[in-house]
A and B are shown apart, each in its own frame.
Chain A
């Protein structure tokens, strides 16, 4: 396809725990188009961050195995050498993280950190680099870019640090920006600013963004398409409008019902029974969500869950979505 930027095929990322490898990402297929914002949503332990880090191959390979294919513009990233990979990182794929303070160098001024990236990815001269750095700081909405240029990370507030991170990520004009929980540590007004900024920059540059989040509100604000992950698998993929209008998978629907949204009144929240199981004990056969919806008959699930296409582009795993009803009365289900 012409407009495909990134194609992930049967990706399996496993971590070593006490000598054995366990899949944190267990066979994920995702296609990211050019010029779109793709959100991956799930709880902690769903494998969303493990998947995101596998794309630019940022895992420590001493403890991690990555299998499958990650085709970026048709090239399989997983088979590149470290040198070839560094060409792709930054210029092709850039990443921003939840905690900018630990991602930034504390001993280096913001401006120098942007220039460092420019040194690697462009052939600008000294003066031009400084100019470009200040330009980038202006683009990400710094009030006083000249001042920020010569400040250290600790002198900035959380939102400003995240803006500085975005400036560094954008310095090489990446085709794909992976944002791993970029607003989770921020206050709600700052979160709105950062999301608006990402959206605006994405529209201007026509690049793509993968945003990893646990917050369905963030998804609704920024995404074009969404994948919901549970226990290492994608359980539902749809356009953002379809997902919120017509959610299908029991997990997606449980999550939406558990949200104390600002529109609902103070009725009882739906509590999903149990927790996401730890890697070693994760159920690897059948519908992985079934232990958390114990009232659903086992005949509703498929033995080997397959993907069902409900409408074009709206895909759901396992057949249990068909007759699923949210059950709020099961208080004892919370006990365990």
Chain B
């Protein structure tokens, strides 16, 4: 695999729980508990999970915003696990992040011009004229007139703020962008604008995205490959087709069946399906989780499709039952 951009090996992020008057560590919250994956150049990987599944912590750990307990992060084949938390390392330049709440990630007292130019000033020595030109270019890429550079973040709508966030993220020509719920706070029409821009920019700049979201509709639209996260671990990984058309793990199947269908004629059917799955979930839970409730390791069941099941489970019993 020549073109692997980022590889994560057995990543763990455990946060200590302190208790007692001495503040000793009494336990750990295992936010991320042993996950491995890789992203190829120009690819979009979706990371889906419900709140508390550890998906945001994964993104933060890759950005160096959360401490890595163990595991390795390789960028273009080089182990950079120790570099990610260092300021001004070259890695910081090539991996950028966009956040859910664009407004709180933009400094309210700075003009758009300064916000977008900040990464340029940190990493590149540009003359004021060059910098100005670059900022205008970046604004044009996200579809904003250059006149906006003199405005403050509060003067913009939610979608425009998110686009400013994107312009800042692509200022240093990164190779990978970690997008943590980039459209969750936006109205549907604005969400469409931002998603379209993200796709355009990806083509133009050859970007890879790690697209973190709880919204299975958005992820299906954006990502060719995706992985489902639950209880700090991966339960299922595969192509869009693998996951949406033949989900195998009971958790994935429940998640997919919970997506509201836009066809009102199917709702009774969906309702019955959901109920059947909840029953099956209660009955068969022990088969999909270990005694401590831990998700098993991923196992390959088809060329691109991996499911977290115990050893030998596939041969014993047909997985997945009826189709969703």
Contacts and interface: CB of A to CB of B under 8 A. Distances in A.
B264 A188 contact: no
B157 A275 contact: yes
Which 7 A-B residue pairings sit nearest by Cβ, starting from the closest?
A: A217-B260, A260-B221, A272-B189, A192-B258, A269-B192, A258-B192, A187-B50
A220 to B, nearest CB: 4
Interface string B198-220: 01000000000000001111101
Interface residues of A, number: 47
A189 B191 CA distance: 22
Contacts of A216: 188, 262
B143 interface: yes
Nearest to A266: B221
Given A188-B214, A275-B190, A260 B195 contact: yes
Interface in A242-284: 244, 254-256, 258-264, 266, 268-272, 275-276
A218 B214 CA distance: 16
B267 interface: yes
Contact of A272 (B192, B220, B254, B270): B192
Contact of B267 (A158, A220, A262, A272): A220
B288 to A, nearest CB: 15
A186 to B, nearest CB: 9
A241 to B, nearest CB: 5
Contacts of A276: 187
A169 B301 CA distance: 48
Given A43-B189, A244-B264, A270-B192, A261 B270 contact: no
Interface string A272-300: 10011000000000000000000000000
B159 interface: yes
Contacts of B37: none
A61 interface: no
Contacts of A244: 262-264
B273 to A, nearest CB: 10
A50 to B, nearest CB: 16
B259 interface: yes
Contacts of A221: 260-261, 264, 267, 270
A185 to B, nearest CB: 9
Interface in B88-110: none
A158 B50 CA distance: 12
A150 B187 CA distance: 38
10 contacts: A187-B50, A187-B51, A189-B258, A190-B50, A196-B271, A220-B263, A221-B270, A263-B261, A264-B221, A269-B195
A189 B265 CA distance: 20
Contacts of B60: none
A335 interface: yes
Contacts of B262: 216-217, 220, 244, 256, 259, 261, 263
* Highest count of chain A CB atoms <10 Å: which of B143, B189, B274: B189
Interface of B: 50-51, 143-145, 157, 159, 187-193, 195-196, 199, 214-218, 220-222, 244, 254-255, 257-265, 267, 270-271, 274-275
Interface string A208-250: 0000001111111111000000000000000011001000000
Nearest to A189: B258
Contacts of A122: none
Given A192-B258, A217-B259, A262-B244, A43 B145 contact: no
A225 B239 CA distance: 37
B263 to A, nearest CB: 6
A191 B258 contact: yes
Contacts of B191: 258, 260
Contacts of A214: 187-188
Interface string A186-211: 01111110011001000000000000
Contacts of A270: 192
Q: For A240, A241, A270, A275, which residue has the most chain B Cβ atoms within 10 angstroms?
A: A275
B261 A220 contact: yes
A43 B189 CA distance: 8
A266 B46 CA distance: 14
A256 B187 CA distance: 13
Contacts of B187: 43-44, 214, 276
Contacts of B216: 188, 262
A229 to B, nearest CB: 13
Nearest to A270: B192
A155 interface: no
Given A214-B188, A221-B267, A261-B262, A334 B274 contact: no
A276 B157 CA distance: 10
Nearest to A242: B264
B265 A241 contact: yes
A331 B218 CA distance: 20
A253 B221 CA distance: 19
Contacts of A272: 189, 192-193
A255 B196 contact: no
Contacts of B50: 187-190
A295 to B, nearest CB: 16
A275 B232 CA distance: 38
B263 A254 contact: no
Contacts of A223: 264
B259 A188 contact: yes
Nearest to A192: B258
Contacts of B218: 260
A260 B189 contact: no
Contacts of A268: 196, 199
Nearest to B258: A192
A270 B214 CA distance: 21
B184 to A, nearest CB: 10
A336 to B, nearest CB: 8
